[in-house]
Every structure is written in C-alpha cells, then in structure tokens.
C-alpha cells in the first residue's frame, strides 16, 4: 500500500470511533464519563482537528460519517459554509486532498520542479537537499528518520514539492505543496499549499472550510489547572496555568456575552484558552491569550522542575486559595531558590571538568593545583 497514493492509501483502514481522534486522553475520558456525543458537524471537525491521525484515517472516518449520519446544513455563523450540506463539503474536501497528494508525488512532462524534505519548515530553497524525484526524496527521508542523529522527540518531518517559476529570480512565483509525515512516512496534514491543481471551489473549501468552524466543547479544565499542551505527532510540550475555565458557561454573564458574539461570527482561531507560562531559562512569567490546540490539552501530572515551579503558586492564586501578595512572595522565593540550584549545578559541572583535566578524584589535590582565579570561581 502506497500511503501517498489516494487510490490505495485508505485500503484496509478501518473507520475509528470519533473519540479516537481526540488527541487528549483526559478529554476523551471526560466525554465518555459524561456521555457526551458530538453532532455530525462537530464530529467532522474533531476528525479534522486531530494532530496525530493520518490523512487516510481521517478519510475513512469521514466516509463512515457520510454513510452513518443524516446530512445536515451548516449554521449561519459559519459564514463561508452557511447553507451548504455537510456531506457535499466532506466529499469536496477529501477530493481536494487527494488531488494535492497526486500533485505532490507526480510531475508533468517538462515541469520544472524538485522535491526536498526537512526537519522543520523552511522558506529558502537552498536550505535542504534537492531531489529530482519524489521516490528518491522518500528514500532519503526514510534513511534520515532511521538515523539516530535526527531523532523523533522534537523533530517535524516534511516532504515538499517545489515547482519553479519561469523566471528563476522571481521567488514569489515559486509554487509549493508540503505535507507533514509520520515516522512511518504516512501523510498527516498539509502545512503549505501554493500550487494550482485545485478548482476555485476546492481551494476555497480546503483553506476556509474547517477553519471557519467554532464550537464550545465541554472540556474538563477549570481556572487554576496546570495543563500541558502537546501539539502534533512529535509531542512538543508547553506547560501553563489556566486563568479561565476552558468551556464557556452560558449562565455566567461574561461568558454569555462571548457566546453571543461567537454565534454571530467566529472560527477555529477563537477556540482558545488563556494562561501563564514561565520561561525555563529566565524565570519570567508571561501571559498568553492564544493557547489553541484545545483537544490536545492534558493535566500536568508530573513534577514541575526549575523555574516552572512558579506555576504552582499561580495555580493556587487563580483558584482563590491565596491572594496576589502571597503569590508574588512565593514566586520570588522560588526564583531565588532555583537560581541557587542552577549556580550549584554550574559549579558542580565546572569541578567535574577540572577533575577530568587533572585526572584525579581528590578535592584537596584539585584545589592545590588550581590557580587562584579558578579557585575563586569554584567557591
């Protein structure tokens, strides 16, 4: 089976339950506990929103959705989709993705193009090795993924086809189609498309379809929770303290006003929460009002380390357990404590290097042989 061939890539793929497309185990467990079931439009969005499932798995789930649920019409607040049917939209969306996969893996006679892969998305054509065929680029990418030097913990892998403009100096006219791939070289999601194999309708739906959707999903996270955002198949992590409930409550006046605005016009970019992070290097506390990837959020169950321990007093403050003055005092005390720990760690590393240089494990001998300047540094 060729994972890039739309004619065969979904063969044998069994349709999964919609909740299997929720990247966060905590959210899946919560929805199962409360017995919440998404509507057909919500289900289609949840499938699209997954950062871990392959395009083939999503297509199998959408086709199963078409076969097992009644067709519905998009509501008014989804401005680019209002009045359209869900089933027709999904068919068009899948057809556009299949067309792009075909465009990615093939070329027309005389077409000036190349393929390249990279760990992270780049904009300069000289930043990656160029390959004359899709097959060769895939072979090279497979070799690099198997190379321990590349690793998979924090890397993202893309395969890109670049179609060059007639005027080589006119970079703005280059046309790319790029897809994120899993370690098994299965397409996960298109990350960039500046090519022209799509009709105007397909292009419109591909880039404005799911992105025009907004939902107030019932999430289990409350103000003061310390959460981890694991975004994407390679598990980039970000810890933060939530300073608002993740789900809008229509019984609260402020939330009710926001809900009225969202029902007027909104899109997936409005599906976000706000919170505070702590810079791991400087210890500076920062407010962020754009934590997205809501369905990837999980509670932070592990022990916080370093400056991120400041998230604990911040959590107690947002839960109303301590006042702001006490929160700031605890943050200042933690900041001083972590700085002392980092300084002790630095000194220990320096002493270890000195011992290695002088080939001895004796502290007395090391200090006897060191110059005064280095002794003062190590004390």
In the chain, what are the domain boundaries? 53-212, 325-378
d(CA 379, CA 370): 12
Residue with the bigger pLDDT between 44 and 364: it is 44
Residues 318 and 333: their CA atoms lie apart, in Å, by 19
Q: Which of the residue ranges 145-154, 156-165, 205-214, 274-283 would you say has the lowest mean pLDDT?
A: 145-154
Predicted confidence at residue 338, as pLDDT, reads 94
Q: Which two tokens stand for residue 153?
A: 């913990």
- State CA 298 to chain mean position distance: 13
Residues in contact with 167: Cβ distance below 8 Å, sequence separation at least 6, in sequence order: 173
> pLDDT at residue 300 above 70?
yes
Task: Report whether 350 contacts 377 (CB < 8 A).
Answer: yes
Averaged pLDDT score across all residues of the chain = 80
Q: Which of 55-64, 93-102, 181-190 has the lowest mean pLDDT?
A: 181-190
Kindly calculate the radius of gyration of the chain based on its CA atoms and give it in whole angstroms.
26
Q: Considering the chain, what percentage of its residues have pLDDT values greater than 90?
A: 30
Question: 112 or 171, which is more confident?
Answer: 112
**Most confident of the ranges 27-31, 99-103, 104-108, 156-160:** 27-31
Highest mean pLDDT among 147-161, 201-215, 331-345, 362-376: 331-345
**The predicted structure's pLDDT at residue 52:** 82
Residue bearing the bigger pLDDT, 83 or 307: 307
Q: Given a cut of 80, is residue 73 above it in pLDDT?
A: yes
C-alpha to C-alpha distance for 223 and 203, rounded to whole angstroms: 39
How deeply is 204 buried, as exposed, middle or buried, from its count of CB atoms within 10 A (0-12, 13-18, 19+)?
middle
Sequence-separated (6 or more) residues with CB below 8 Å from residue 141: 117, 157, 159, 181, 185
Output the pTM of the full model. 0.81
* CA proximity to 171, closest of 192, 191, 194, 190: 194
Is the predicted pLDDT of residue 87 greater than 50, yes or no?
A: yes
The helix or strand, by DSSP H or E, that contains position 196, with its residue range, turns out to be: none
Given a cut of 70, whether residue 166 has pLDDT beyond it is no
Task: List phi, psi (to 5°) of 120.
Answer: -135, 155
User: Among candidates 194, 178, 174, 159, which has minimal Cα distance to 125?
Assistant: 174
pLDDT at residue 124, rounded to an integer: 42
Q: What is the distance of C-alpha 62 from the center of its chain?
A: 22
Mean pLDDT score, 127-139: 75
- Contacts for 108 with CB less than 8 Å, ≥ 6 apart: none
pLDDT at residue number 327: 95
Q: Is the per-residue pLDDT at 328 higher than 70?
A: yes
How do 175-181 and 236-242 pair as beta strands? Answer: unpaired
Looking at per-residue pLDDT, the higher value among 244 and 10 belongs to 244
Q: What is the predicted pLDDT for the residue at 347?
A: 81
Give the least confident one: 18-32, 169-183, 292-306, 307-321: 169-183
Q: In which band, very low, low, confident or very high, does the pLDDT at 126 lie, cut at 50, 70 and 90? A: very low
Q: pLDDT: is 152 or 358 the higher one?
A: 358
Please name the helix (run of DSSP H) or strand (run of DSSP E) that holds residue 257, with its range, or none.
helix 253-264
Work out the average pLDDT over 264-281.
Answer: 83
DSSP 244: S
Kindly state the tokens that stand for 178.
């790029």
Per-residue pLDDT, 127: 46
């Amino acid at each position: 089976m060729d994972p890039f061939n739309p004619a065969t890539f979904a063969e044998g793929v069994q349709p999964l339950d919609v909740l299997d497309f929720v990247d966060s185990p905590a959210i899946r467990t919560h929805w199962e506990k409360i017995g919440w079931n998404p509507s057909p439009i919500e289900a289609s969005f949840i499938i699209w929103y997954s950062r871990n499932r392959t395009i083939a798995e999503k297509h199998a789930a959408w086709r199963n959705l078409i076969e097992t649920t009644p067709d519905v019409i998009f509501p008014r607040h989804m401005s680019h989709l209002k009045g359209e049917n869900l089933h027709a939209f999904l068919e068009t969306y899948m057809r556009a993705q299949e067309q792009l996969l075909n465009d990615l893996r093939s070329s027309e006679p005389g077409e000036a193009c190349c393929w390249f892969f990279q760990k992270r998305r780049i904009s300069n054509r000289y930043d990656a090795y160029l390959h004359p065929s899709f097959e060769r680029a895939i072979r090279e990418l497979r070799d690099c993924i198997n190379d321990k030097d590349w690793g998979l913990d924090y890397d993202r892998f893309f395969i890109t086809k670049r179609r060059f403009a007639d005027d080589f100096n006119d970079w703005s006219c280059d046309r790319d189609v790029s897809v994120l791939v899993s370690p098994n070289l299965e397409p996960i999601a298109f990350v960039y498309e500046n090519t022209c194999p799509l009709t105007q309708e397909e292009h419109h739906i591909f880039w404005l379809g799911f992105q025009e959707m907004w939902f107030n999903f019932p999430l289990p996270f409350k103000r003061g929770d310390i959460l981890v955002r694991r975004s994407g198949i390679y598990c980039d992590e970000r810890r933060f303290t939530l300073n608002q409930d993740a789900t809008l409550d229509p019984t609260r006046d402020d939330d009710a006003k926001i809900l009225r605005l969202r029902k007027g016009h909104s899109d997936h970019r409005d599906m976000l929460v706000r919170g505070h992070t702590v810079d791991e290097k400087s210890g500076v506390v920062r407010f962020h009002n754009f934590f997205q990837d809501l369905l990837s959020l999980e509670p932070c169950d592990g022990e916080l380390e370093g400056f991120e321990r400041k998230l604990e007093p911040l959590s107690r403050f947002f839960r109303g357990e301590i006042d702001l003055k006490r929160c700031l005092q605890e943050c200042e005390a933690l900041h001083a404590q972590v700085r002392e720990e980092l300084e002790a760690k630095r000194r220990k590393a320096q002493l270890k290097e000195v011992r290695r240089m002088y080939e001895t494990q004796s502290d007395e001998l090391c200090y006897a042989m060191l110059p005064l300047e280095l002794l003062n540094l190590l004390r």
